[in-house]
Structure 1
Amino acid sequence: MKKLKNHIEEMLADYNDINDNTRMQLELINQTLAELQTKKKSEEKSCRRIGFIQHEE
């Protein structure tokens, strides 16, 4: 029983480590996407002329 208990505890610790790593990676991906979205919005705003109507052909 003691051996089984130790094995289960090791498996749960490994599982938690994987979850923590995955959570950190997803957090970094979300932060990067948010930064890119903000950067894209600011670039779009700076390209528009005020007072002019642009017609697409």
Structure 2
Amino acid sequence: MENDEMIIPELNNETIESMIYIIRGQKVILDFELAKIYGYETKRFNEQVKNNINKFPERYRFQLNKEELDIILRPKKSTLAKRILKNI
């Protein structure tokens, strides 16, 4: 589903703050959560980044390694892992 409106009805500061992780000393929001905020499928969101790479400076994007992803997923394993797996 792609549209111009945000699709998280309960989007507020608390919701956004819960999506922010500190990784490598940087505040990070994961791709699938950004895609959700903007109403895109994760795959389509990442395609947009790839197709418009000049609009996304390297300092604003990086790929997590397996260990980092495991650390993030551990507390949310049951719900978050299911959402990620659906988007692969």
Question: Which structure's residues are more often helix, by fraction?
Answer: 1
- TM-score, with structure 2 as normaliser: 0.16
**Higher gyration radius (CA):** 1
- TM-score, with structure 1 as normaliser: 0.24
- Structure number with the bigger relative contact order (C-alpha 8 A, sep ≥ 6) is 2
